[in-house]
Amino acid sequence: MEIGLYHYLTLSVILFAIGMTGVLIRRSVLSMLLSIEILFNSINLAALAFNRFLYPATVTGHVFVIFIITIAAAEAAVALAIVMIVYKNFRSLEVEGLTSLKR
């Protein structure tokens, strides 16, 4: 069977579901960050699949993916700075404990 848009979209959706589960079930902030990266990538895959199979002559999907990667980099930098400061203040990275902005 020819691999088409459906296959890529299905894979993308499965990855999205896995990423979402990861965000919901993990306790550590860092694990949640890893899961968020999975979410980003499932979106990237979907964008590129749409671009390839629906409008191959344009590059809108590619441009979107580049933006997403850029924003993921910025997000990672800020999130890691926050993780550092949280760890410094709370000595733990478990989400349940982080209920106040200040302790």
Partner 1 sequence: MAHALMFYLFAALAIAASLAVILHRNIFKSATFLAGMLFCLAALFVLLDAEFIAVVQVLIYIGAITILIVFAIMLTTKINDEHKEQFNSQKFLAPILALGLLGLILTIVVKIQWTTAEISPVPSDILGLIGTALLSDFIFPFDVVSILLLVALIGATYIAKQEDRKPLVTEVDETGEHGDGKVKHALHAEEVEH
Going from the C-alpha of 79 to that of each of 13, 65, 73, the distances in angstroms are 25, 20, 10
Q: How far apart are CA 35 and CA 72, in angstroms?
A: 12
Cα–Cα distance for residue pair 30/33, rounded to 1 Å: 5
CB of 99 to partner 1, least distance (A): 14
Q: How far is the CB of 27 from partner 1 (least distance, A)?
A: 5
For residue 23, the one-letter residue type is: V
Cβ nearer to partner 1, comparing 91 with 99: 91
Nearest distance from C-beta of residue 43 to partner 1, angstroms? 11
